[in-house]
A and B are shown apart, each in its own frame.
Chain A
Amino acid sequence: MFSLSRFLAVMVKEFVQMRRDRVTFAMMVGVPIMQLFLFGFAINSDPKHLPTLIEMADEGPITRAILMGMKASDYFDFVGTVTGQAEGDRALRDGTADFVVVIPPRFERDVVRGLNPQILLAADASDPAAAGGAVAAISGIVTQAMADTLTGPLKFAAARPPPFSVAVHKQFNAEGRTSTNIVPGLLGIILSMTMVLITSVAIVRESEKGTMETLIATPARPAEVMLGKILPYVLMGYIQTIVFLIAARLVFDVPFVGSPLAFFVGFNLFIVVNLALGFLVSTVARNQMQAMQVSFFLILPSILLSGFMFPFAGMPGWAQVLGSILPTTHFLRLTRKVMLKGATLTDIRPEMLAIGLIMLVIVTIALRRYRQTLD
């Protein structure tokens, strides 16, 4: 005996309240878009133009070719020269430079004589991600520069090519753009954050303000109230997602090569699991402040352990287990699979199964808790 009119009444009421609560409204619409642009543009896991100093104890055509090559790679910006190791160390410590390139004395002559001299690239590796790309690129740059310079009579000094070569084929994100990876992930994070937070707060608000008493004194059924309260936020999630997809396409040029149906199904499943989570939070929290705190407590692991910020495979086993409990982890995989790898409905079955399982557990606990708080 589900009453459509009561359900609609609750929903209309919720929309009116949503409209009046400007801050929350802004949180739901404005902030996600702002975050998308902020993080989409700001986060770069392959930083370039890193300040570099040169200590030149020798000079010549080979040296110049190497330095030119480094500069051309865009990883290194030469900002000055140093004389002596102490000065270079200080610059690394101060943070005025991320790299110091040391060309040893008699470098050119030693190369020609085949003495295999060493160029030193001292790097500030306190942040491994910051230095990683540049360090990985340096060998290739140097080899290329040598090959271009050591021609004619000097050819004997150049490195002999290995008897085989490795062809690397970077798939799904050939240019290695961070935003291609970050933007689909960000959708999961922001959806999960707003859904859990807003649902839990909206439900807790009723009991905190005492209005729940009014509701239960009416003939309304719990299902009418819950659905009426939650559906406006589902709609909000839809709007967020549409804005996201448009921005991803037009602003960040993130491809969407997979099946829209697969995305739609997976996305709805994710919304439902987050609403259930928000509902669970609301049965734990006594007031809106607590609901907020619990929600944030849940968001942080979703950001750090889901594979959004850091590669999932890089975490130790126990952390991967923890990460697998989070619905966001599976949704991130699902979104990346569909958007970047062209997955269809059958390809995302493992993720859907995982999210479904998590949902089952959450709903069971939430309902059990809800029954207890009712009486």
Chain B
Amino acid sequence: MIEEAENAISVRGLTKIFGDRKVVDNFDMDVPKGSIYGFLGPNGSGKTTTIRMMCGLLTPNGGEGQCLGYDIRTEPDRIKANVGYMTQRFSLYEDLTIRENLDFIARMFGMKGRRKVVKDALADLGLSDRANQLAGTLSGGWKQRLALAACLLHKPRLLLLDEPTAGVDPKARRDFWDEIRALSAQGVTVLVSTHYMDEAVQCDFIAYIAYGKKLIAGPAAEIPDMIGLQTWRVEGPNLTALEAELRATEGVAQVARFGAVLHVSGIDAAALDKVAQAQIAKGTHSWTKQKGGLEEAFIYLMTGVRDNFAINGPANGPAAAEGQA
């Protein structure tokens, strides 16, 4: 192994082409060791493809890099042995029992003391007494926990989670994130792709990708400033009508509702201030200027580019190839 680098993942110029469509375009990324790195972007933006290239599952058409000190082009086997990859969709065998699934994965990673490893994993999961239940009969939350346990069996140093909590209830999602935090504290690097804001705010670093291009990346705390979003906090009666009015107003990039409060944001500070002053003059609502948070930044990013397919549609390339992305 090459000397321990600062970054668990470091890639430059990654490019992947499916047919005549550039799914990932000249992508650079550094994931510091032990961090939780959030990977955001709309559907079909190339998140899954990028993750797969970084762990050696896909060969990039261009670019280079290392993952855990191994070359992503030439040493995919070594990467696989040290990476836990949790797929978007439940991808264990539904017609095998929980124990059989874990046992199979342990065998595939050539683990020593397999019986004990599987037994411990079952105990950690709290599924010891249901070990002989078919995996397909588990609920969404349990399936996700089983999938996580399966990809942690071989004690990976890097965890790649591809939209791990899609379709999982909020309670299970919180539990899941507690576990991710715990793993991170033990020094495991976590790269997670997500749609959810409440997951994005859990991350130490965030990269935002759209159309296969990285639009923004940095420590989570700096993202709002990097985007440069101005935000006003609005309170008062009849927010729904106001919300509709503001949405149609020039200078307002986004109106987000948090319970009984509206967060009105815009990139052009001067234009937004003008809107605010006009509203304050009406006197119906209280307007206060506040620092833009990650929530607004996130909503701004997610709504700015809706669905890559909606614009760059299936007619433009093999949607099927990226359909699972």
Contact = CB atoms under 8 A, between A and B. Distances in A.
B105 A13 contact: no
A189 to B, nearest CB: 29
B96 A6 contact: no
B108 interface: yes
Instruction: Tell me whether chain B's interface is mostly helix, strand or loop, or mixed.
Output: loop
B107 A209 contact: no
13 contacts: A5-B107, A21-B95, A210-B87, A210-B324, A211-B91, A211-B93, A213-B87, A214-B91, A216-B57, A219-B77, A219-B108, A219-B110, A220-B108
A212 to B, nearest CB: 8
A267 B102 CA distance: 37
A210 B108 contact: no
Size band of the B side of the interface?
20 to 34
Interface string A209-243: 11111111111100000000000000000000000
Instruction: Tell me whether chain A's interface is mostly helix, strand or loop, or mixed.
Output: helix
A209 B109 CA distance: 21
Contacts of A12: 104
Interface in B255-279: none
A218 B109 contact: yes
B80 A13 contact: no
Contacts of A175: none
Interface of B: 55, 57-59, 77, 80-81, 83, 85, 87, 89-96, 100, 104-105, 107-110, 150-151, 324
Contacts of A215: 108
A9 B101 CA distance: 11
Given A9-B107, A220-B108, A16 B55 contact: no
A287 B104 CA distance: 24
Given A9-B104, A16-B100, A217-B83, 17 more contacts: A6-B108, A8-B107, A17-B93, A17-B95, A20-B95, A210-B324, A211-B91, A211-B93, A212-B91, A216-B57, A217-B55, A217-B57, A217-B80, A217-B85, A218-B80, A218-B108, A219-B77
A211 B109 contact: no
A375 interface: yes
Contacts of B109: 218-219
Interface in A180-222: 209-220
A219 B91 contact: no
A6 B154 CA distance: 15
Given A6-B107, A217-B55, A218-B108, A13 B93 contact: yes
Contacts of A83: none
A364 interface: no
B258 to A, nearest CB: 36
- Shortest Cβ-Cβ A-B pairs, 6 listed: A9-B107, A218-B108, A210-B91, A217-B85, A210-B89, A214-B91
A3 interface: yes
A316 to B, nearest CB: 41
Residue from the set A212, A217, A220, A375 with the largest chain B CB neighbour count within 10 Å? A217
Contacts of B324: 210
A221 to B, nearest CB: 8
A190 to B, nearest CB: 25
